[in-house]
Structure 1
Amino acid sequence: MNIPSALGVACAAMAFGIATPAAAHDTAETVTPNFRHVIPNIPGKSLIAVVVDYAPGAASVAHKHAASAFIYAYVVSGDIESQVDDGPKRVYHVGESFFEEPGAVHRISRNASDSRPAKLLAVFVTDSDDKALTTPLK
């Protein structure tokens, strides 16, 4: 499989894993399913994509994804602050991307601006039978 295909699968997997409806207030994200498809040449794997919209100042709760999920995230608009596992906190700008290894904890995912919205495309490569792709941490 070529790299663009793998990244696409990863983003899609993440997308549906996060596709739980967000709280209806300005401090949470809104997740919209974008794509889901079984990967025909990788038995048991699917590519899932979601679009994550952050209102100004909005953030996701700390979470992890399905143990099988490799995630590719791409900033579509605005600026997104992110921290995966114990890595550094970083602000990603339009056109920049990052990834999450299977089993990683996404400690911070938020709009870095209090005045402008931000949008992220998340693509997952995951086991096709994974049901809950995103689980909030307690």
Structure 2
Amino acid sequence: MIIRPILTAFCVTSAIFTSTGSYAHGPGDIVRPNFEQAIPNLPGKSLIAVEVEYPPGAGSLPHRHAKSAFIYAYVVSGSVESKVNGGDAHIYRAGESWSEPPGATHSISRNVSKTKPAKLLAVFVVDSNDKELTTPIK
């Protein structure tokens, strides 16, 4: 009888990951869907939030964001180094944030610490039919 709730939880989790598109992962980083909602007064646009947790020393692979995606990133805990497009790399600490323009190339996104985890919240304003939020750069 305990199998049914476990199976249901697995199916719900799988559906959430499938519905929020794909993400560029690095070794050991964890991406969790947080929120997804169509924006009622902006037809064709959605608000999607994901939590990105970086274990000590981990980072995301270089990636490109969807051409329609405006992104707001907020560091929840720890320190995250980020480099967007041709700009300089910058270290953001808990409570700090930045934005990324549509179609941005993200060459660096990683936990600065080798001993403590870091977490950020990435909020996308994106075309509702854009399911590939991030694409690894080859």
| Same structural fold, with TM-score higher than 0.5 when normalized by the shorter chain | yes
SS of residue paired to 2:40: coil
Q: Contact conserved, 1:30 with 1:53, CA < 8 A, in 2?
A: yes
Q: What is the rounded CA distance, in whole Å, between the counterparts of 1:132 and 1:69 in structure 2? A: 10
Q: Contact conserved, 1:21 with 1:30, CA < 8 A, in 2?
A: no
Q: Which runs of 5+ in 1 are unaligned?
A: 1-15
Matched residue, 1:40: 40
Aligned-pair CA distance for 1:73: 0.2
- Please tell me whether Structure 1 or Structure 2 has the larger radius of gyration of its CA atoms: 2
AA matched with 1:68: S
Matched residue, 1:130: 130
Aligned-pair CA distance for 1:22: 4.5
In the TM superposition, what are the counterparts of 1:89-108 in structure 2 within 5 Å?
89-108=89-108
Matched residue, 1:80: 80
Measured against aligned partners, the alpha-carbon deviations of 1:41-95 in whole angstroms (never above 9, x if no partner) come to: 0010000000000000001000011100000000000000000011011100000
Number of paired residues? 119
Matched residue, 2:64: 64
Calculate the TM-score normalised by the size of structure 2. Answer: 0.82
SS of residue paired to 2:113: coil
What is the alpha-carbon root mean square deviation over aligned residues?
1.4
Q: Which runs of 5+ in 2 are unaligned?
A: 1-19
Q: Contact conserved, 2:59 with 2:111, CA < 8 A, in 1?
A: yes
Calculate the TM-score normalised by the size of structure 1. Answer: 0.82
SS of residue paired to 2:132: coil
